[in-house]
Amino acid sequence: MTGGRLQDRAVLVAGATGMAAAAAHGFAAEGARVLVASRTAEHARELAGAIEAEGGRCHWLAADLSREADADTVVEACVSAYGRVDGAYTVAGISGRRYGDGPLHEMTLEGWQAVMNGNATSTFLVCRSVVRQMLRQEPGDDGLRGAIVTMSSTLAFHPSPGHFATHAYAASKGAIIAFSRALASYYAPDGIRVNVIAPALVATPMSRRAQGDPAILAYLREKQPLAGGPIDPADTVGTAAFLLSREARMVTGQVVEVDAGWGVSEPGRAPANGERY
């Protein structure tokens, strides 16, 4: 694999399935030197092996990114392998339904804490380790020290009470947006960019329950009309690659909703027939 908008950039991907796996493949195809980190060693090892079999460059590490030491170790591993960290994509996260997430009046404290730890705290720890490294390194060939893309959700903007009443999850994804924009503002003078992707429902292992529910699938056909159902993980890669690339060197503090039309669609509306009222 040669050439591409991420050519020779050292990119850390937090996660090894779903959107993270699609991104790691896509980034490597764009010329990036990738390091993937996942709590499940088998997932990370298989992903790295598949990328290398395609001619890409990829290291892997098993790590629980909600732990301080593990987040630091992952960044150290990227620097050890590639000499620096040019980009980080913090995809890893959880759905907390099995821990007790749900509507507020039914939610448990354990559910709230598990979701905030798995989503917001892990993002904080990875970003902290990455930013500390970026502040130490010299600017790259784009004149900047690095770029970070974090993972939010359309549910932080556009609730769906009938099908996705997981209030801790929405709160954790909203926290990631506020956190990321604060970072973008503070570290812009240091040449560090921070942006956010907020997807709607993507066909990943985390969304299996929703993908198996006929009522939700019918809802998504209208709520996500550009996809006609769940979004393919591959359709999120281009946005992330752009935000991490030299092409986006003037872009920071932005939230990009990759939602297949979720935020602007109205389920139950009659199909357009060319007439306007």
pLDDT digits (tens, 9 = 90+) for 104-123: 999 999 999 999 999 999 99
Per-residue pLDDT tens digits for 18-39: 999 999 999 999 999 999 999 9
Instruction: Give the H/E segment covering residue 60.
Output: strand 57-62
Specify whether the CB–CB gap between 191 and 139 falls below 8 A: yes
Per-residue pLDDT at 269 exceeds 90: no
Q: Report d(CA 55, CA 73) in Å as an integer.
A: 26
Phi-psi region of 21 (alpha: psi -120 to 50; beta: other; left: phi over 0): alpha
Region 55-81 average pLDDT: 96
Place of tokens 């996705």: 164
| Stretch 196-221: mean pLDDT | 86
> How far is Cα 128 from Cα 115, in angstroms, rounded to an integer?
19
The stretch 250-273 carries a mean pLDDT of 88
Position 195 scores a pLDDT of 98
Helix 18-29 / helix 41-53 crossing angle, nearest 10 deg: 30
Average pLDDT, the chain: 93
Predicted TM-score of the model (pTM): 0.94
From 56-60, 82-86, 209-213, the region with the lowest mean pLDDT: 209-213
Q: Both ends of the chain: CA-CA distance in Å?
A: 51
Fold exhibited by the domain 10-256: Rossmann fold (3.40.50)
What would the mean pLDDT of 229-238 be, rounded to a whole number? 96
For position 1, what pLDDT does the model report? 47
Active-site residue, 169 included: yes
- Write down the domain spans for the chain: 10-256
Q: Would the pLDDT of 273 be above 70?
A: no
Position 143 pLDDT exceeds 70: yes
* Residue of 99, 169, 187, 219 marked catalytic: 169
